Amino acid sequence: MSIIHVPVLLNETIDLLITDKSGTYFDATLGFGGHSEAILRKLDSSGKLIATDVDDNAFNYCKEKFKNDKRVSLYKFNFSMVDVIAKIESVTGFDGILADLGVSSFQLDKPDAGFTFRTETELDLRMDKTKKQTAADIVNELSEDELSEIFRDFGEERNHKKIARTIIKARENKKIKTTIDLKEVIGAITPPNYLTKTLTRIFQALRIYVNDELNMLKEFLVRSVDVLKPGGRLVIISYHSLEDRIVKDFFRSESVTTLSPKEDPYGLQKKSARLKILTKKPILPGREEIIRNRRARSAKLRAAERL
């Protein structure tokens, strides 16, 4: 496999994540093992790394990469099952949990992985190929209002209504099967200098919807806190504002002892704080890292500690 994924904010992640060299760590987004490799370098022989990824290529690549390291256990599970994996591995509490969200450079750049609109492939966008619905199914089957909502909520696309309407019209004549079919439909109503940005937003929206990414992230965050040891660290790297907002709001709600007025309108209940926020503001990559690795430009790292 020739396309390498360069891990983002690597030193910052390791510094925040690892507090005990003999501890047990969870990498929720194994990818091509960049962060995992750095974690293992830091751990001693009694340390342990458990990691997961739903993508076949990533999982198989890392199975081979780490096959001689007895400290490693790999899973092909959705990361929202972090608590189930902890149970299988008899882990009572992780010392650190990392999620480097989104897709890898390999998924984005490999023409036949189906994530890019730069080459013609089936309009798929599933990370986990066992999931039933592809992006093509969604584009060909959902109603105009449903598509419009997806483009608005998950792509923050201003032209969501017009794009949905155009898709509905286009598919009456011919099914939209490939990435280029969709690009042509959107290209017909978008000025050429806006096309790449518009397509990026539409593909992001479809990807989030197909993989149910925001709900999986919410579930993962809640369950991660359940399986962190006191003093254990949760480190999340996100790449767009929808994900970052979820992480920020979750950290905030878990770090206060009172419920919000919406959750507890009469102020009768108290809950205990479970997290201490370690990054008041998110950590961003420096200029040098962005020059070296374009994918890093939108990264935001947030970290918290289990109380």
Which parts of 119-138 interact with ligand SAM (CB under 6 A)?
127
Name the residue nearer to ligand SAM (CB basis): 86 or 163.
Answer: 86
Q: State the minimum distance, in angstroms, from the CB of residue 98 to ligand SAM.
A: 8
> Under a CB-based contact definition with an 8 Å cutoff, are residues 127 and 182 in contact?
no
| Shorter beta-carbon distance to ligand SAM: residue 186 or 236 | 236
Q: Does 54 bind ligand SAM (CB under 6 A)?
A: yes
Write the CA distances from 88 to 83, 92, 196, 261, integer angstroms: 9, 10, 44, 38
Q: Which of 18, 25, 43, 52 binds ligand SAM (CB under 6 A)?
A: 52
Look up residue 8 and give its two tokens.
């983002």
* Residue 204 interacts with ligand SAM (CB under 6 A): yes or no: no
Q: Does 147 bind ligand SAM (CB under 6 A)?
A: no
Residue 91 or 99: the one with the smaller Cβ distance to ligand SAM is: 99
Q: Residue 5 interacts with ligand SAM (CB under 6 A)?
A: yes
The dihedral built from the CA positions of residue 119, 120, 126 and 129, taken in this order, carries a sign that is negative
Cβ proximity to ligand SAM, 87 vs 169, nearer residue = 87
Label each residue of 32-80 as H, E or C. CCHHHHHHHHHCCCCCEEEEECCCHHHHHHHHHHCCCCCCEEEECCCHH
Region 79-108 residues binding ligand SAM, contact defined as CB under 6 A: 79, 100, 102-104
The single-letter DSSP state of residue 230 is: E
- Which C-beta is closer to ligand SAM: that of 24 or that of 104? 104
Given candidates 16, 25, 31, 236, which one binds ligand SAM under the rule CB under 6 A? 31
Decide whether 243 or 305 has the Cβ nearer to ligand SAM.
243
**How far is CA 107 from its chain centroid?**
13
Contact call for residue 148 and ligand SAM (CB under 6 A): no
For every residue of 124-147, DSSP letters joined together read ---SSTTSS--HHHHHHHS-HHHH
Q: How many residues bind ligand SAM (CB under 6 A)?
A: 21
| String of contacts with ligand SAM for each residue 207-246, x by CB under 6 A | ---------x------------------------------
Determine, following the binding rule CB under 6 A, whether residue 25 of this chain makes contact with ligand SAM. Answer: no
Length of the chain, in residues: 307
In the chain the beta strands, taken as DSSP E runs, fall at 24-27, 48-52, 72-75, 94-100, 228-238, 275-277, 300-306
Q: Which stretch binds ligand SAM (CB under 6 A): 53-61, 82-90, 148-156, 261-269?
A: 53-61
- CB-based contacts of 32: which residues, under 8 Å, 6+ apart? 1, 4, 5, 58, 61, 62, 65, 104, 106
| Angle formed by the axes of helices 213-226 and 192-211, nearest 10° | 50
Closest distance to ligand SAM from the beta carbon of 58 (Å): 4
Residues within the interface to ligand SAM (CB under 6 A) = 5, 7, 29, 31-35, 52-55, 58, 78-79, 100, 102-104, 127, 216
